[in-house]
Amino acid sequence: MTDTASIKTLPFEKALAELEDIVRRLERGDVPLEDSIAIYERGEALKKHCEQLLKKAEARIEKITIGPDGAASGTAPLDVAE
């Protein structure tokens, strides 16, 4: 069973580091099956948590718009496709 309560409090960097550690352990292939299942489930929960944190951060990012006089005139959503 995955402890999702503890995952929800992790900052992005710690969640990502733990997820990377899980991937390394699973790739080595020396983890017993039951442990593999448990850490895989935790990895899935960590992945979802990281995705949610990234979406929240992305929603907060804005670019500063510049008016004709060169001064900041406001903000607009950041369009990464530009």
Instruction: Determine which of 4-8, 13-17, 63-67 has the lowest per-residue pLDDT on average.
Output: 63-67
Cα gap 63→78, rounded to integer Å: 5
Number of domains comprising the chain: 1
Q: Judge whether residue 52 has pLDDT over 80.
A: yes
**CB atoms closer than 10 angstroms to residue 54:** 12
In a domain, 24, yes or no: yes
Q: Per the structure block, which two tokens stand in for 55? A: 């979406």
In a domain, 29, yes or no: yes
pTM above 0.85, yes or no: no
In a domain, 82, yes or no: no
> Domain of 58?
4-77
In a domain, 55, yes or no: yes
